Amino acid sequence: MPELPEVETIARSLRPELIGRTILAAEVRWPRTVASPSVRGFKERVQGQVIQQVGRRAKFLHIQLSSSNLLIHLRMSGDLQIRSAQSRPEKHDRLILHLSAPSSQATAPASPIDLAFNDTRKFGRVWLTADIHEVLGNLGPEPLSRAFTPQRFHDALRAHRRQLKPLLLDQTFLAGLGNIYTDEALHLAKLHPLAPTHDVTARQAWRLHTAIRLILREGIRRNGASIDWVYRGGDFQNHFRVYGRLGQPCPVCGTAIRRLVVGQRGTHVCPKCQRV
């Protein structure tokens, strides 16, 4: 599943292509892809709206329209593809938005296009809503925002009695982290994924806060990680510290990386650098 850096990369790539275009029609090819409203309501309400901005919140793509918001969660196999307006639908297309040529202020090529949501496993979902809080209201803070401070982070950790990694993966606690970037940040901070959150010291919280932000920014700088056939174009997988490196030497101490299962998730650690 794409995590914060991958979704941010997708948003940045789509932004110049989409802003200023009008949605001429929506072709829903798998009804369950549209989580809200009904398929009929979606098609009626989205038609005629102008794309004003393309951004991200947590692992959601946020496409701001002239009178509503389009939210997309790619889940396990979702992919957004820009195609020629004359192209034929592909086998796993679940939703296609037919878009006009952009306004004169936009930077995209002046020709109509299609935005296709291709999703092999059918887990991806799309919402059309006037109020994004209806969908995103329970999410935790953005780890790259100014509001995410070391002190608030430490206070939040101490308020829970859980293991460290499962809490970091909880999107209501902190938005955008997934398996890859959590493992990488914990290794950089020299903290074990099974450490009790209520025992984390202020200094450890500061280290982890710094590590999370550094790892995410590096992931964004490298256009995310390409580790399967769905997400393409990233380079961060070539710079992993521990994730997916079972048996390989730790880049800090040379100890062989081990794999644990934490909260039903495969987890990679250095047993020397990250002691419980």
Q: Give the separation between CA 25 and CA 227, rounded to whole angstroms.
A: 34
Q: Which CATH superfamily is domain 4-136 in?
A: MutM-like, N-terminal (3.20.190.10)
Where in the chain are all domains bearing CATH 3.20.190.10? 4-136
272 included as an active-site residue = no
Type of residue at 45: R
- Which CATH architecture best describes the domain 150-269? Orthogonal Bundle (1.10)
265 included as an active-site residue = yes
Average pLDDT over residues 3-19: 96
Catalytic residue among 59, 94, 165, 245: 59
What is residue 227's predicted lDDT score, i.e. its pLDDT?
A: 73
Type of residue at 189: A
190 included as an active-site residue = no
Q: Is 153 exposed, middle or buried (0-12, 13-18, 19+ CB in 10 A)?
A: buried
Where in the chain are all domains bearing CATH 1.10.8.50? 150-269
Residue 231's pLDDT band (cuts 50, 70, 90): low
147-195 confidence digits (pLDDT tens): 999 999 999 999 999 999 999 999 999 999 999 999 999 999 999 999 9
Q: Give the separation between CA 171 and CA 177, rounded to whole angstroms.
A: 8
31-44 confidence digits (pLDDT tens): 999 999 999 999 99
